[in-house]
Structure 1
Amino acid sequence: AMSPQGRVMPISVGGRMEKSLRKSFVPESWKSKWLIGLFFISLPLVPNLAWSAQPTVRIAQAVDALAFLPIYVARANGYFNDEGITLELIIVQGGGPDLQALIAGSVDFDATSTGGLLRTFSGGIELLGIHNVVGKCIIDLIIRQETAKRLGITPAMPVQEKLRRIKGTIVGASRVGSLSYQIAYFLAKEAGLEQGKDVTILGVGGGDSALAALKTGRIDIMSFAPPFPQVALKDGDAVSLVANSKGEYPKLNSFLQNVLLTRPDYAKKNPDMVRRILRAMVRGNRWVAENDAKEVAKVVSKFFKNTPADVLLNTVEAIKPAVVPDGRLTLDGLKGVEEVYRANGIIKKPVPWDRLVTNEFLP
């Protein structure tokens, strides 16, 4: 859902982007389609007659979802405006185009998954992580009621036993290669199951498409971030398989899911701007951590007008514990992501975290 205060217009991309796309790590299918989901949103957060004198900063965001809760709070509460910044937000439909926009210089910051940082590194490009947006895994897996009954899976069963029983099922993630896909792939592998042989993991699109596929039986299991698993559970269409948002799978308890990225050269040339952006972001983190979930849900509800109030509250309650108040990046959380992407075959060489992330710009 777009901010009700914003306006949408296409973003123009020059030769620099085209050159970057030709040389990038992004699959061919992304290169021809990424503009479809790319939106340019100008966000007048608080009326201010001095806007013309304020610098404009472009930030990309991988998806329009509450997995980036502190950013919605910072927007709603006017924290970027407080820093003298006019925010222009680009929202894409899944990670990939956002990273390309950052690499090409079309944006200077990108809120995305830590896995995106690892994918660019594996492709030979080093970006810089500067802020912890969501510091734990919140990708939940749920299973259709009918499939659970057939396989003898109950909510009270130990999670490893539940996973061992999903052989022969079809799992729906947002798209092949996405974070939701990687988590499902990892958990299946942990249970000794092979993708394409023992289980089938498919890309089914957005959360609404996944819910429809689950309801009609086209998929047995859904791997998604809140609020979509919570919606299916509330409607009685599914039971929980792995509740990562509640820390149910120990190996994913240290998993720094979402980060804010910039280019190393931009950070070096514009340290003051980076600090101003991060002051606004960290205020968002702290406000989420310090306030009741009901108040947080109320503040961000204007961005999610089509989401029922009870589902929005449940989503905020699921994500709130994952928001680190000071926004600091932790090595344990980063290594947790590395473990998943290494197990899945995405990362094969040592990861120089000291070059890829820093806390030096945080307040």
Structure 2
Amino acid sequence: MTRFKNIDRRQFAFAMFALAASARWPASAAAKETVRMGQATTTLGFLPVWAARAYDTFAAEQVDLSWAAINGGDPACLAALDSGDIDIAATGSDSVLEAVAKGQPYQIIYSLMSKISLNLTVSEAMIKRTGISRSMPIKERIACLKGATIGVAVVGGAQDRTVRWLATRGGLDGRKDVQIVQIGSAAALGAALENGRIDAFMLSPPEGPLAEAAGYGRTVIEPDTDISGWKGMPSLVLVGRSDANEAAQKKIVATVRAMNSANHAVLSDLEGSADKIGGKFFPKLPQPVMRVSIKTLADGIRDDGLLNDERAKLLSQFVEDSGRTPPAPGSFWTNKYVELAKTTK
């Protein structure tokens, strides 16, 4: 017993208890899988991800979520997926099609936002200059954008592409009739609109509602409701590898169930969810603005991430209309994980 003469009796008893417990409960039983998710931007449009983190819906799936914002937007996020640094990427949908068209092994596995969530907000000065208003027919509103300076986070990014796509819906030349300038973050875009450096920006909530609440801008175009034939297009998605192994596929199914649980929690209590998500992740955002934003986005999360031929066709058309070549139909998406999440546990 000389080996233990300097050990406190209570320490010795605790060590013996721990040893006995480890014999009864193998380490593998306590271990959890970890899903590593990278998100291309921190916009509220990724609502199911914010909700899953706020409500901790991964815990019910016996999975830990390791989440990170990836600097560099969609391309950097997809590169992290390609290198194996993350298991799932949360990105803009059209970026995935570009990558797949170039031969990258990606696959859309879940629609996070089944609507075009980017809305056009214009300055009060532009309203006075052009008379643009929500009461105008949509083509007249788009015509008012001719010659306008529209701010985006990154030239060539999702906002840029959506502005140019929108211009074509109203008969404008998306390359020549609007001026796109790179400003940076959502906060910087708001400041640029307020200070008269730009005429408009195209962002998902809460930036539009925030500009309206502060009195320096108004949202005049919401493509999901204003442009017929585009309802349900998946604009923000979860992406996995098309060659995912069995372990990775199980993580994807667990993630889909966690997303669905989060969506159901939001839809059952929009205001309470807005307060919960806002308090945890957007504490500086006024509560009324957060509530309006969640209400605006709610239509995009009502169908448990459903992907189908019709929605894929809309996405391919969006890519084509914005001047790029989409990959072959059926090559860039799968609905199997959404279906598996309904039937397995």
Query: What is the TM-score when the length of structure 2 is the normalising length?
Result: 0.84
1:219 positional shift: 0.8
* Structure 1 residue 115 displacement after superposition: 1.1
Q: Which residue of 1 aligns with 2:77?
A: 98
Question: Which runs of structure 2 are paired with 1:48-197 in the superposition (5 Å)?
Answer: 53-93=31-71, 94-197=73-176
Contact 1:136 1:256 in 2 (8 A): yes
**Is residue 300 from structure 1 mapped to residue 299 from structure 2 by the alignment?**
no
Aligned-residue offset at 1:267: 4.6
Q: 2:188 aligns with which of 204, 209, 226?
A: 209
CA shift for structure 1 position 320: 0.8
Q: Within 2, Cα distance between the matches of 1:156 and 1:180?
A: 24
Pair 1:355–1:192, CA change in 2 (3 A): closer
Contact 2:114 2:233 in 1 (8 A): yes
| 1:241-266 CA distance string (max 9 Å, x none) | 21235x12224323111111111222
Whether 1:318 aligns to 2:300 is no
Alpha-carbon distance, 1:51 to partner:
10
Cα offset for 1:292?
2.4
Matched-pair contact (CA < 8 Å) for 2:138–2:170:
no
How far, CA to CA, are the matches of 2:329 and 2:133 in structure 1?
A: 42
Question: Displacement, 1:226?
Answer: 0.7
Q: 1:145 to 1:274 in 2, by over 3 A?
A: same
The structure that has the greater radius of gyration is 2
Whether the aligned pair in 1 keeps the contact of 2:97 and 2:332 (CA below 8 Å) is: no
1:286 and 1:325 in contact (8 A); partners too: no
- Structure 2 Cα separation of the partners of residues 113 and 268 of structure 1: 26
Which secondary structure does the structure 2 equivalent of 1:328 belong to? coil
Given that 2:313 and 2:329 are in contact with CA atoms closer than 8 Å, whether structure 1 keeps it comes out as no
Matched residue, 2:236: 258
Paired residue secondary structure (1:217): coil
Q: Which runs of 5+ in 1 are unaligned?
A: 1-48
Supply the AA of the counterpart residue of 2:43: A
> Equivalent residue of 1:177, what SS?
coil
Shift of residue 273, structure 1, vs aligned partner: 2.5
| Number of residue equivalences | 312
- Asked if the contact 2:112–2:305 (Cα under 8 Å) also holds between the matched residues in 1, the reply is yes
> Does residue 357 of structure 1 match 2:334?
yes
Give the drift of 1:186.
0.5
1:281–1:170 CA distance, 2 compared to 1 (3 A): same
Q: Work out the CA distance in 1 between the residues paired with 2:78 and 2:178.
A: 30
Question: Structure 1's 270 and 215: CA in aligned 2 closer, same or farther, altered over 3 A?
Answer: closer
Alignment deviations for residues 55-77 of structure 1 (CA, whole Å, 9 cap, x no partner): 22211111112211112222222
Q: Which consecutive segments of 4 or more residues in structure 1 shift more than 6 A? A: 49-52
How far has the Cα of 1:182 moved from its partner? 1.3
Q: Structure 1-normalised TM-score?
A: 0.80
- Give secondary structure in 2 for the equivalent of 1:96: helix
The whole-number CA distance in structure 2 between the counterparts of 1:321 and 1:295 is 17
How far off its partner does 1:298 sit? 2.0
Identity of aligned residues (%): 27
Kept in 1: contact 2:164–2:175 (CA 8 A): no
Q: What residue number does 2:8 align with?
A: none
Deviation at 1:50, TM superposition (A): 9.5
Residues 280 and 216 from structure 1, CA distance in 2 versus in 1: closer, same or farther, beyond 3 angstroms? same
Is 1:287 the counterpart of 2:265? The answer is yes
User: Using a 3 Å threshold, how does the CA distance of structure 1 residues 200 and 70 change in structure 2: closer, same or farther?
Assistant: same
> Which amino acid is the alignment partner of residue 78 of structure 2?
L
1:87-126 C-alpha deviation (Å, 9 max, x unpaired)? 1112124322111100111111111121121121122213
